[in-house]
């Protein structure tokens, strides 16, 4: 009996020593950085509803964690087993199992950024979306046709032109176009604040009218200092029922008809389109591009100036005028004589409202 007890004692001691060394090894590996994949980066996708066992298997199979045992210990140690979030995760360096678990618990999913500058149409945004390999342009334009996302602010909207807020968006891989479109509309609503809506109502302007005016401002100038003055020109024209005569609206009409080639011809000014503000009075029926926050603000808070005209200086800036006589002089100086001297178009816009000088067209905007 004594011999049995001694043997049992030694077995217990050996088991304890083994357990100690095993536990020490496992514990060390829990805090030891590991990288078991050969590529520069490794992606692990965790679909919604995936069980903890399947999550462990995916991480081990991907070579992100050494084995299932150390991962179990890391989950126990962190207490995060019930908090792991779905998504696609990118790994590109050795990480400890604890760090891996903490990343999944934070939901630190892999995202890619896509930027939409101010002043783009839905079609132009769709091309960026496709070029960045987020999906097809067709998917984007179809999602942008969902006018129901904006009916609370614009019941007349037939699509989301003007309401896809220009900004940079970080998206997980595989994000559908519909989700991006919803994010863009949400960001527009956040930028077009309750105060802005109240200001529009106080001026007897609908959201659609504000965004349409802001889209004209956005297309006419990229200079922050000029936006309130450009807005003033169009607001002043509206107040006296003077035609907008905004070249960007003609460009938009041509684009919708698939006829725009980068320039406006004289005959295009008589094109029969409700967006042609040379032919139809008032604002066009809807936005012609996506305005940014500064243009939205300018549409609601135009400068207190009497200007009715402006023309490009061909350096990105404009010259403004209150009378047609003054405007004609500016057109002569900054358009006719400038191009006769061999000047080149330096700005993105030419101006508004000038029929007075024959042959004054260069680069698609009328001066």
User: pLDDT tens for residues 40-64?
Assistant: 999 999 999 999 999 999 999 999 9
pTM as predicted: 0.79
What's the average model confidence in pLDDT over 186-197? 96
Which pLDDT does position 3 carry in this prediction?
52
Q: Which residues pair with 357 in a beta bridge?
A: none
Burial of 342 (0-12, 13-18, 19+ CB in 10 A): exposed
Q: What is the pLDDT of residues 212-234, one digit of tens each?
A: 999 999 999 999 999 999 999 99
Is residue 29 very low, low, confident or very high in pLDDT (cuts 50, 70, 90)? confident
Structure tokens at 140: 């984007």
pLDDT at 164 over 50: yes
Domain boundaries, the chain: 30-106, 112-191, 211-366
Which pLDDT does position 263 carry in this prediction?
86
Range with lowest mean pLDDT among 21-25, 119-123, 354-358: 354-358
pLDDT at 335 over 90: no
Measured CA to CA, the distance from residue 104 to residue 111 in angstroms comes to 14
Q: What is the pLDDT of residues 318-328, one digit of tens each?
A: 999 999 999 99
pLDDT at 179 over 80: yes
Measured CA to CA, the distance from residue 98 to residue 70 in angstroms comes to 9
Which pLDDT does position 16 carry in this prediction?
41
Which pLDDT does position 341 carry in this prediction?
76
pLDDT at 19 over 60: no
Which pLDDT does position 264 carry in this prediction?
87
DSSP 32: S
Class of domain 30-106: alpha beta
What's the average model confidence in pLDDT over 344-362? 43
Q: Which stretches of 240-285 are DSSP H helices?
A: 247-256
Is residue 190 very low, low, confident or very high in pLDDT (cuts 50, 70, 90)? very high
Q: Are the CB atoms for 148 and 160 separated by under 8 Å?
A: no
Which pLDDT does position 30 carry in this prediction?
87
Q: What are phi and psi of 34, to 5 degrees?
A: -145, 145
Percent of the residues in the chain that have a pLDDT greater than 90, as a whole number:
75
């Amino acid at each position: 009996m004594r011999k049995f007890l001694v043997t049992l004692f030694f077995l217990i001691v050996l088991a304890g020593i083994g357990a100690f060394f095993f536990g020490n090894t496992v514990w060390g590996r829990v805090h030891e950085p590991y990288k078991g994949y050969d590529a520069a980066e490794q992606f692990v996708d965790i679909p919604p509803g995936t069980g903890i066992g399947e999550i462990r298997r995916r991480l081990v199979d991907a070579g992100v964690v050494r084995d299932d045992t150390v991962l179990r210990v890391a989950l126990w140690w962190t207490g995060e087993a019930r908090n792991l979030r779905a998504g696609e995760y990118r790994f590109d360096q050795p990480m400890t199992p604890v760090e891996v678990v903490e990343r999944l618990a934070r939901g630190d999913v892999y995202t890619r950024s896509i930027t939409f500058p101010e002043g783009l149409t839905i079609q132009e945004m769709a091309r960026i979306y496709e070029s960045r390999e987020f999906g097809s342009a067709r998917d984007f334009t179809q999602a942008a046709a969902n006018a129901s996302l904006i009916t609370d602010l614009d019941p007349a909207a037939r699509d989301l032109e003007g309401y896809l807020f220009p900004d940079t968006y970080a998206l997980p891989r595989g994000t559908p176009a519909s989700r991006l479109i919803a994010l863009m509309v949400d960001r527009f609503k956040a930028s077009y604040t309750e105060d802005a809506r109240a200001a529009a109502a106080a001026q007897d302007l609908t959201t659609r009218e504000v965004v349409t005016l802001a889209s004209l401002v956005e297309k006419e100038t990229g200079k922050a200092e000029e936006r309130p003055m450009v807005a003033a020109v169009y607001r002043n024209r509206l107040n006296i029922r003077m035609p907008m005569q905004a070249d960007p609206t003609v460009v938009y009409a041509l684009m919708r008809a698939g006829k725009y080639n980068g320039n406006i011809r004289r005959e295009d000014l008589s094109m029969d389109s409700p967006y042609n503000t040379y032919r139809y009075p008032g604002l066009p029926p809807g936005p012609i591009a996506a305005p940014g926050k500064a243009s939205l603000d300018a549409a609601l808070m135009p400068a207190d100036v009497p200007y009715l005209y402006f023309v490009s200086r061909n350096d990105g800036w404009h010259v403004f005028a209150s009378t047609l006589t003054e405007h004609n002089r500016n057109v002569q100086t900054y358009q006719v004589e400038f191009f006769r001297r061999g000047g080149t178009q330096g700005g993105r816009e030419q101006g508004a409202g000038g029929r007075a000088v024959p042959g004054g067209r260069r680069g698609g905007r009328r001066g």
